[in-house]
Structure 1
Amino acid sequence: MASFAIKVIRNALRGVAVFSPEAAGRLAFRLFSVTPGRKPKNAKERAALAAAAPVIAQGQPVTLSYAGGWVLARRFAAPRHAANAKRVLLVHGWGSSSDYLAAMIEGLVKGGAEVVTLDWPGHGGSPGRTLTMPAAVRAIDAAWRHFGNFDVSVGHSFGGGSLACAAGGIVCDVRSHVAKKLVLIGAPSEMTWLFKGFGKVLRLAPKTQDAFEGVVERLSGRRLDAFDAAQIVGMLAVPTLIVHAEDDKEVDAEHARRYAAAGPNVEMYWANGFGHRRIVSAAPVIDRINAFIHAEGQKAAA
């Protein structure tokens, strides 16, 4: 049964749509883009943030500007003994922050990488209360402009889809940024399903749904169906590791299968049992990503 708030929103959008489906669609997009609150929701999240604090404190904070705002990045230096360290761009998912990636940050650094993290707009240490995929792509562009090229891009959930879209040059006024390798963890393979699902929850009429999806084109210069990360990964032919759990309840495993079918450049690693959120802290996952990142160096050493 729908909550009282959802029922109120449905009625409000229905009333606006009587006079202007366009206005109702724009309002639906604003609601769609609002980010969750940043405070930990329970004792488990508070404990996770407390445990992450010593790791996050080791990062050098950097403010990155992009058209529309700024985001907080952190640079975690590679170990001194690491020769030819890989530079990794690591990004979190919707409703999360870099703090929740502390175990992966620590694991990748110990593995011999320099790690740069981003807090998306409306998340973590970055300002704002909204986030869109075009804004995420612009934040990624800001990271590339400031730090230079990245050897590997690693993204969880929304972050993974954003990295793929940034690599594909989907936002028409932002140049594409293609790392030498790509790692997508629990990531959606395209965005249409999310918009259709949101429209279904709010029971948007067809004209309002069209207007809702049309906002994407006004923001990015591309239609919604162009934000197909699996198709982009296949066209780029960059070595890509897909990490997903079949028990993921937020991003269905079918998205991982779409990636896996995109081309011979894609490797699939099933991290079953770790769901959607625990997957980024799981030791086997971090080990698998490290092996993927450093595969050439390990072959050369052998």
Structure 2
Amino acid sequence: MASLFGKIIRATFWLISARSPEKAGELAFHAFTRTRSIKPQSEKERAALFKARARMAEAETARLMIPGSVVATHVFRPAPGQETGGRVLIVHGYRSRSDHMVAMADALVASGQIVVCLDLPGHGASSGRVLHLPKAVEAIDAAWRQHGPFDAFVGHSFGGPSVMAAAAGAILHVPQRLPGRIVTIAAPSNMEDVFRWAGGLMGLGPEAQNAFERQVLRVAGRPLSEFRVDRLLHDVHIPILAVHAEDDKEVAFANVEAIAALGPHVELMRASGFGHRRIVSALPVIGAVTEFVNRKQHRAEILDLPLSCKNQPVKIEVPNSKRKRRPA
């Protein structure tokens, strides 16, 4: 049964749409891209932030200006003499923050990588109340200019399309930032699906939905239809590791299959049993990401692979018996 608040939202947009579908679409975009409070929303989240507090305090934090926001980056360095020279940028998902990516960062640091965790606008230690894909790419660009170039991008959830858009140069007013390789974890592959889901929640009719989607052209310089992985990365043939759990309740497993369909330069990892959020701290996933980022493989070798090669999925199954699943 829909909540009372949800019913009120849908009724409000229905009334606005009756007078002006264009205005309803504009307001829907404003509501969709407005970030929520950064305060913990549950005891579990509060405990996770407390656990990460000491490690986050050890990071070198820099604050970088982008239009409408000051974004925070947190730099973790290996011990002296253990650096490999590699640099990795980690980008969290919506309603998350760098604190939740500490386990991933620590494993990469232990392997010799310098790791930069980025707080997206309106999240973690970053200011601002608006977040959409162009804003995320602006933040990635600022991190690149301050700390890059990066050998790898790692993006979880919304961070996945964000790093892919940055690598593709998809936002017209932001330079392309192409790393040596990309890792996506539980990432959406088609932003049209995300907008249709959001429009459905708000009860937008066809005309208001079209106006809602047209806002992307205004902020990104490209229509929403361009923000799907097969169009973003059709000319980008760097190594990609795409990780997803088949029990992900927030982002369907079909999204990672779309990423894997890009070609033989993509490796698909099934991380069953870890859902949407636990996946970033799951030891098998962290191990696979660390190995992939540190793998010595020249980009030319990837480009020379025959297009007829098939992906070789890496399947990691976690016994679900006696495991209590947390709702995503």
TM-score past 0.5 threshold? yes
Equivalent residue, structure 2, for 1:132: 132
**Pairing of 1:178-193 with structure 2 (within 5 A):** 178-193=178-193
Q: What is the letter of the counterpart of residue 286 of structure 2?
A: I
- Secondary structure of the 1:153 match is strand
> Following the alignment from structure 2 to structure 1, what is the Cα–Cα distance between the partners of residues 192 and 80?
44
> Following the alignment from structure 1 to structure 2, what is the Cα–Cα distance between the partners of residues 84 and 49?
29
Equivalent residue, structure 2, for 1:5: 5
> Following the alignment from structure 1 to structure 2, what is the Cα–Cα distance between the partners of residues 69 and 201?
28
Q: What is the letter of the counterpart of residue 272 of structure 1?
A: S
> Following the alignment from structure 1 to structure 2, what is the Cα–Cα distance between the partners of residues 232 and 194?
16
> Following the alignment from structure 1 to structure 2, what is the Cα–Cα distance between the partners of residues 99 and 255?
26
Equivalent residue, structure 2, for 1:211: 211
Q: What is the letter of the counterpart of residue 272 of structure 2?
A: N
**Structure 2 unaligned blocks of 5 or more:** 298-328
Contact 2:213 2:224 in 1 (8 A): yes
> Following the alignment from structure 1 to structure 2, what is the Cα–Cα distance between the partners of residues 234 and 223?
17
Equivalent residue, structure 2, for 1:107: 107
> Following the alignment from structure 1 to structure 2, what is the Cα–Cα distance between the partners of residues 5 and 269?
38
Give the deviation of 1:271 after TM superposition. Answer: 1.0
> Following the alignment from structure 2 to structure 1, what is the Cα–Cα distance between the partners of residues 160 and 261?
17
**Pairing of 1:220-235 with structure 2 (within 5 A):** 220-235=220-235
Structure with the bigger percentage of helix: 1
> Following the alignment from structure 2 to structure 1, what is the Cα–Cα distance between the partners of residues 205 and 131?
24
Aligned residues: 297
> Following the alignment from structure 2 to structure 1, what is the Cα–Cα distance between the partners of residues 83 and 33?
42
Give the deviation of 1:202 after TM superposition. Answer: 1.9
Q: Deviations over 1:139-178 (max 9, x none)?
A: 1111111113100000100001100011111111111111
- Secondary structure of the 2:296 match is helix
Equivalent residue, structure 1, for 2:315: none
Equivalent residue, structure 1, for 2:153: 153
Q: Which moved more, 1:209-218 or 1:62-71?
A: 62-71
Alignment of 1:282 with 2:260, yes or no, is no
Q: Deviations over 1:214-258 (max 9, x none)?
A: 011000110001111344334200100001110111110000000
Contact 1:89 1:153 in 2 (8 A): yes
Contact 2:83 2:114 in 1 (8 A): no
> Following the alignment from structure 1 to structure 2, what is the Cα–Cα distance between the partners of residues 68 and 244?
33
Equivalent residue, structure 1, for 2:258: 258
**Pairing of 1:37-186 with structure 2 (within 5 A):** 37-186=37-186
> Following the alignment from structure 1 to structure 2, what is the Cα–Cα distance between the partners of residues 231 and 57?
40
Identity rate, percent: 45
- Secondary structure of the 1:236 match is coil
Give the deviation of 1:83 after TM superposition. Answer: 4.3
> Following the alignment from structure 1 to structure 2, what is the Cα–Cα distance between the partners of residues 224 and 281?
32
Contact 2:69 2:126 in 1 (8 A): no
> Following the alignment from structure 2 to structure 1, what is the Cα–Cα distance between the partners of residues 81 and 270?
32
Q: Which moved more, 1:250-259 or 1:105-114?
A: 105-114
Q: Which moved more, 1:103-112 or 1:247-256?
A: 103-112
Q: Deviations over 1:259-296 (max 9, x none)?
A: 11111110111111111100100111111111111111
> Following the alignment from structure 2 to structure 1, what is the Cα–Cα distance between the partners of residues 182 and 230?
12
Q: Deviations over 1:93-125 (max 9, x none)?
A: 000000011111111111211000111111111
Q: Which moved more, 1:60-69 or 1:278-287?
A: 60-69
**Structure 1 unaligned blocks of 5 or more:** 298-302
- Secondary structure of the 1:235 match is coil
Moved over 4 A (4+): none
